[in-house]
Amino acid sequence: MVTVEARHLSKVYRIYAHPQDRLKEFLVRGRRTYHREFWALRDVSFHQPSGSTLGLIGDNGSGKSTLLQLIAGTLQPSEGVARVEGRVSAILELGAGFNPEFTGRENALMSGTIMGTPPRQMERKLPEVAAFADIGDFFDQPVKIYSSGMYVRLAFAVATSVDPDVLIIDEALSVGDQYFQKRCIDRIEGFRKAGKTILFCSHNLYQIRMICDQVIWLRDGQTAEIGDVSHVIGAYENYLREREMPQALVASENGDSRAFPWIAGVGLTRGDETIPHDHLLTGEELAVTVQYEVPNPPTPLHVGVSIERNDGVQVFATGTHVAGIQPSSSSDSIRLRFPRLPLMSGEYAISVFLLDEHGLHVYDRRVREWPFRVLQQVRSLGLCNLEHRWEVWRPSDRKTQRLFPQESGLV
């Protein structure tokens, strides 16, 4: 059974240069146009079975909120149809309709009524709302004295207190502290288990991966990918990486016209060898040589290097600002040595950053562009061959209470 269906949904906005142009256009009745068109959403179709969770991902301004609003019915489509079966509750904005002068209790009652729960029914739910919001005595204080965290907690508690068939959530979870975010996720998970249909939009790909059955990736108002969660998220992550890369490449190509330092080249070598090397054994020396160009005038900068495993785990990251070293402020190169690289076997990649003199602003970044592979000859397991030794008590030595360290040193 399908509960939510979109067929060729489009939303176009008319952009007027001046407010009076709208009136002019109305008066000439289409004989002349005074607007340009902006397609916030173009030809998006999907059908979502009852009880499933649909995730929306995409950059800011890609049309996620527009799509959710069209499904919720607060916006009217320019073309196409949105069909929803059952009672819809939309959390498009937390605390919409709150009046700062009134107490949390009064606002919760009003807000619930606005969202369609009769006041008497809402009144019965208030203890539950108060418990979930977890704001204690502030529940009976005016909302204007709330901290922003308390505000969103109350708003989320009210918004999810209704009992919808279809729940639409627009990035509501990007607010609040970790603890509250966790509880929100639990709440949504509860809705999901109860067989509700959920439409969910977030920048947190991890959450999307955990919660959704189906994902749509929107790009400039159009469906870039739709379908299986890991497939779509994978494609989107690829796109995110590619978008970072060309910027760096373009930057290097027309580098001379740039105002800020950029990375000219990076070489991975084994020790002091001069030929590039991307195969190492655990414990060998790895040297990362970073060449950078600095436009005139010379600019103080710092160099950062990070090692990541191919599953995204950051193994190690450091920089000259951490070590208290000041690299040359004109074009030069700098080398970072790992005398006995303790990494265990796996695929890794180096990322390099050029930072300002405070180590805060990033002038240039090349993320995971220099891969290398490590093979291990030790039989331990894990990510890193940590320096270690075993100590064993020998019964014969008890009298002297001495400890004989049994070295099983590093390879």
Partner 1 sequence: MSRSVGLYRHRTLIWSFVKRDLLARYKGSAVGLFWSVIHPLIMLGLYTVVFSAILKVRVGAGEGTDYFALYLFCGLLPWNAFAEGLNRSTGVILEHANLIKRVIFPSEILPVYPVIAGIVNELIGFGVLLCVLLVTGHPIRPVILVLPAILLLQFVLTTGLAWLIAGITVFVRDLGQILGVILTLWLFLTPIFYPPAMVPEQMRVLLTINPMYTVVEAYRSLILKGQVPALWSLSALALMALLVNWLGYRVFARMRPAFADVL
Q: How far is the CB of 175 from partner 1 (least distance, A)?
A: 15
Closest CB to partner 1 among residues 61, 116: 116
Of 34 and 338, CB closest to partner 1: 34
In the complex, the smallest distance separating the C-beta of residue 92 from partner 1, rounded to whole angstroms, is 4
Asked if residue 339 lies in contact with residue 286, where contact means CB atoms within 8 angstroms, the answer is no
**Triad 148, 179, 166: Cα angle to 5°:** 80
69 or 207: CB nearest partner 1: 69
Residue 75 vs 307, nearer CB to partner 1: 75
With beta carbons less than 8 A apart as the criterion, state whether 378 and 284 touch: no
- The two three-digit tokens of residue 239, written as one number: 């796109």
**In whole angstroms, how close is the CB of 166 to partner 1 at the nearest point?**
11
Residue 71 beta carbon to partner 1: minimum distance, rounded to whole angstroms: 10
CA dist., res. 82 & res. 7, Å (int) = 6
Q: Of 70 and 354, which has the nearer Cβ to partner 1?
A: 70
- Cα four-point dihedral sign 63, 69, 71, 77: negative
Residues that bind partner 1 (CB under 8 A): 13-14, 19, 22-23, 26, 69, 72-76, 88-90, 92-93, 96-97, 99, 101-102, 106, 109-110, 113-116, 118-119
Helix (H) or strand (E) holding 350: strand 346-355
- E strand map for 50-136: 53-57, 79-84, 88-91
Instruction: Find the helix or strand (DSSP H, E) in which 240 lies.
Output: helix 229-253
Q: Which residues contact 403 (CB under 8 A, 6 or more apart)?
A: 391, 393, 397
Q: Is residue 292 a contact partner of residue 261, using CB atoms and an 8 Å limit? A: yes
- CA 376 to each of CA 167, 268, 273, 386: distance values in angstroms, whole numbers, following the listed order: 51, 18, 20, 13
Supply the minimum distance, in Å, between the C-beta of residue 23 and partner 1: 6
- Whether residue 410 contacts residue 385, with contact meaning beta carbons closer than 8 Å, is answered with yes
- Taking the complex as a whole, how short is the minimal distance between the CB of residue 101 and partner 1, in angstroms? 4
Residue closer to partner 1 by CB (options 129, 294) is 129
Query: 43: phi > 0 → left, psi -120 to 50 → alpha, else beta; which?
Result: left
- Minimum CB distance to partner 1, residue 124 (Å): 15
Q: Which tokens go with 166?
A: 């279809």
The residue among 11 and 366 lying less far from partner 1, judged by its C-beta, is 11
Long-range contacts of 318-321 (CB under 8 A, 24+ apart): 319/353, 319/355, 319/359, 321/355, 321/358, 321/359
In the complex, the smallest distance separating the C-beta of residue 162 from partner 1, rounded to whole angstroms, is 10
Question: Minimum distance from CB of 16 to partner 1 (Å)?
Answer: 10
Which of residues 106 and 356 has its CB atom nearest to partner 1 in the complex?
A: 106
Of residues 97 and 271, the one with the C-beta less far from partner 1 = 97
Segment holding 190, helix H or strand E: helix 178-193
Shorter beta-carbon distance to partner 1: residue 3 or 69: 69
- State residue 317 phi and psi, 5-degree precision: -145, 140
Whole-angstrom Cα distance, residue 367 to residue 380?
A: 29
Longest dimension (CA), the chain: 108
Phi, psi (rounded to 5 degrees) for 190: -60, -45
Work out how close the CB of 256 gets to partner 1 at its nearest, in angstroms, rounded to a whole number: 47
Residue 308: its H or E element: strand 302-309
Minimum separation from the CB atom of position 117 to partner 1 (A): 10
Pick the closer one to partner 1 by CB: 97 or 371. 97
Phi-psi region of 97 (alpha: psi -120 to 50; beta: other; left: phi over 0): left
